[in-house]
Structure 1
């Protein structure tokens, strides 16, 4: 099994409640793995012309002052929400969020990214989930995405005791279950390994559970507690519903980058889980061109 032990966790922030929850989740992971965190705030410091009430040149002239104020705010934000629980660094970059995240992740050699899927106030609201989605399409390190609903406390997860890992017998699913196993081991948690059958039949066959048990790497038996589940239905819906019923702390899902015209995409099942899951989702991605093992005749599973 591939080892997963993050040492450098990149956390893009924008000071919203969603960002605060992402930061709290990153702090929890940093504690479990004794990792360091880099909190990144990216801004061009120039609003769109339609929203500008001062000359654009003013921002160029006062860029250092604007960055200094942002850095002061970011450091205060980290002291409040991370404190001395984990090692952290604050960084402010003059750039668009997506480009800054991708560049920093590569330059800093981040091995995990934790970020919110919604946030940004005022005119930045047009970005919403597009930043997280763009990062998912470009990076090949595991990415934890956080959804935060208005009105909910911005506290993050208390622990990581119950993980849900949907699998489809592919290589990227093996990587996902390895990540789930590492997290369960680090936090003394339990994994529910689920295979969702989308074939046109009403119930799983008798041998489906045996096939899943045979597929799970043998070393998992000595690494952490886990349970196997085979269910029937629409993959994304079943995973989201099951995560809610189990009160899962985190979903671990694999995703294969695929080439589409001049960009990369991930499967629709994975994107639906990311958009609608009520708990953090860690996506384990594979580059375009990485080989995958086709799903078995048992049917399609909850990653695509």
Structure 2
């Protein structure tokens, strides 16, 4: 029997638009087709700020967390009680949501993870969107992403997956999406139809692609499946999304190049663009061939390391540089983060471009969030005043300790895993506590696309440090 179908959900008091609930009927339908168990998984998140608050409370923490877990289970049990036609189990765990979802799926050998994408449905996007994206990057299992909609479908609403639209580019990686879709959806009572699709570029010969798609369709027909095919013209992601609408597809199945190690830093660009362009559920799979190719590459040339792709001697500022100076530095040099160092070059923290935008943070003991800017709770009405005051704030007051640091010898695959796990774009490279370089996701992308050469040659940034102000 296939593994469980895992659907991560939040209770209504944390997800008032019920964004996560949109995935339930799809998870239920797949569990029915596979004869599998449906698991409604809910993660009680303990953020760093909340953890610090709780640690100060001492012995009351364990009792408080136990109460939270019981409250969450009661809420999800009520949600599961209305699901019929399939064995349903509730699991409630404590931790970082994306990490716990992936760990649960791995431990129980899940057949698929089914999650909702927020679209633009109000406050729930703050709670749901980043988790879904992070799970897609990390998960080894196929992931079905369902676009949230209003009204929210009932848990037992009927779902049709046919026809399954499979975009193909002639590679074995893309073709693996076919087998993934067949394995995830199983036989069920509804015959599964597949429609193969290729978007032509300007210099491609249609005849060649007609022959290719016809041959794939014939192989599927020989296996007893209904398979059709067509060609399209235009921007790839948008054309795929339009074809899905015109074919009334129940699902789009495609591969990503975000598998493991280095490749998992970025979701495959076409899949990511399709996800944003379509309202049709998107089934993403992890091609086995890419993993094998990476293993062969590492065996032949040895793993790349942080020193091979880092920007050495990055631009830095002192602790008493003003935020106005930091902002100007970022704009002048088109960089997304500036390390803050002491007089000996030891890293104190990072200031990122996103730190200049108000972000909503969880309030302890509350389901609500409130804006925070430069580490201060603010009302939306006071944002303009806060920005004016912040120009004179010193970098040392607002710099955040980096979530991840590495050494020059850290393998690139390990570095990339850290980037994904912590969901960061900038990783400082340290030697005995002193900053010697910085790695960005763009650096990793270039290493994947073009190979890597050391960055310390001609044209590399010099040691630029903004001295402390007088």
TM range (shorter): 0.7 to 0.9
| Structure with greater Cα Rg | 2
- After superposition, where does 1:142-157 map in structure 2 within 5 Å? 142-149=142-149, 151-155=150-154
Which residue does 1:102 correspond to in 2?
A: 102
Take 2:142 and 2:158, find their aligned partners in 1: how far apart are those partners? Answer: 18
Matched-pair contact (CA < 8 Å) for 1:120–1:128: no
| Segment of structure 1 superposing worse, 5-14 or 240-249 | 5-14
Take 1:28 and 1:110, find their aligned partners in 2: how far apart are those partners? Answer: 15
Take 1:97 and 1:67, find their aligned partners in 2: how far apart are those partners? Answer: 14
Take 2:270 and 2:216, find their aligned partners in 1: how far apart are those partners? Answer: 21
Which residue does 1:72 correspond to in 2?
A: 74
Indicate the SS of the match to 2:265: strand
Matched-pair contact (CA < 8 Å) for 1:164–1:193: yes
| Segment of structure 1 superposing worse, 183-192 or 59-68 | 183-192
Which residue does 2:280 correspond to in 1?
A: 279
Which residue does 1:298 correspond to in 2?
A: none
Which residue does 1:14 correspond to in 2?
A: 10
Which residue does 2:89 correspond to in 1?
A: 89
Which residue does 1:211 correspond to in 2?
A: 212
Cα 1:221–1:66 shift into 2, 3 Å: same
Which residue does 1:140 correspond to in 2?
A: 140
Which residue does 2:393 correspond to in 1?
A: none
Take 1:232 and 1:87, find their aligned partners in 2: how far apart are those partners? Answer: 44
Shift of 1:33: 1.0
Cα 1:219–1:161 shift into 2, 3 Å: closer
Partner deviation per Cα, 1:113-134 (whole Å, 9 max, x = no partner):
1111229999774344221111
Cα 1:125–1:164 shift into 2, 3 Å: closer
Indicate the SS of the match to 1:32: helix
Matched-pair contact (CA < 8 Å) for 1:46–1:56: no
Matched-pair contact (CA < 8 Å) for 1:175–1:254: yes
Shift of 1:73: 1.0
Take 1:278 and 1:262, find their aligned partners in 2: how far apart are those partners? Answer: 26
Which residue does 1:194 correspond to in 2?
A: 197
Shift of 1:216: 4.5
Which residue does 1:238 correspond to in 2?
A: 239
Shift of 1:106: 1.4
Partner deviation per Cα, 1:72-121 (whole Å, 9 max, x = no partner):
111111112x13x1112111111111111011111112121111122999
Partner deviation per Cα, 1:262-283 (whole Å, 9 max, x = no partner):
9532221100112232121111
TM-score when normalising by structure 1: 0.80
Partner deviation per Cα, 1:184-229 (whole Å, 9 max, x = no partner):
74331321110112x224x852332112212447244332111111
Take 2:179 and 2:173, find their aligned partners in 1: how far apart are those partners? Answer: 10
Indicate the SS of the match to 1:179: helix
Structure 1 unaligned residues grouped into runs of 5+: 293-304
Take 1:230 and 1:274, find their aligned partners in 2: how far apart are those partners? Answer: 20
Cα 1:97–1:214 shift into 2, 3 Å: same
Take 2:218 and 2:39, find their aligned partners in 1: how far apart are those partners? Answer: 33
Take 1:33 and 1:27, find their aligned partners in 2: how far apart are those partners? Answer: 10
Take 1:219 and 1:119, find their aligned partners in 2: how far apart are those partners? Answer: 34
Indicate the SS of the match to 2:160: coil
TM-score when normalising by structure 2: 0.54
Partner deviation per Cα, 1:147-204 (whole Å, 9 max, x = no partner):
113x33323653223211111122222221123345374331321110112x224x85
- After superposition, where does 1:220-239 map in structure 2 within 5 Å? 220-239=221-240
Cα 1:143–1:263 shift into 2, 3 Å: closer
Take 1:120 and 1:78, find their aligned partners in 2: how far apart are those partners? Answer: 26
Take 2:250 and 2:9, find their aligned partners in 1: how far apart are those partners? Answer: 21
Which residue does 1:178 correspond to in 2?
A: 179
Cα 1:56–1:161 shift into 2, 3 Å: farther
Indicate the SS of the match to 1:256: coil
Take 1:270 and 1:262, find their aligned partners in 2: how far apart are those partners? Answer: 14
Structure 2 unaligned residues grouped into runs of 5+: 295-470
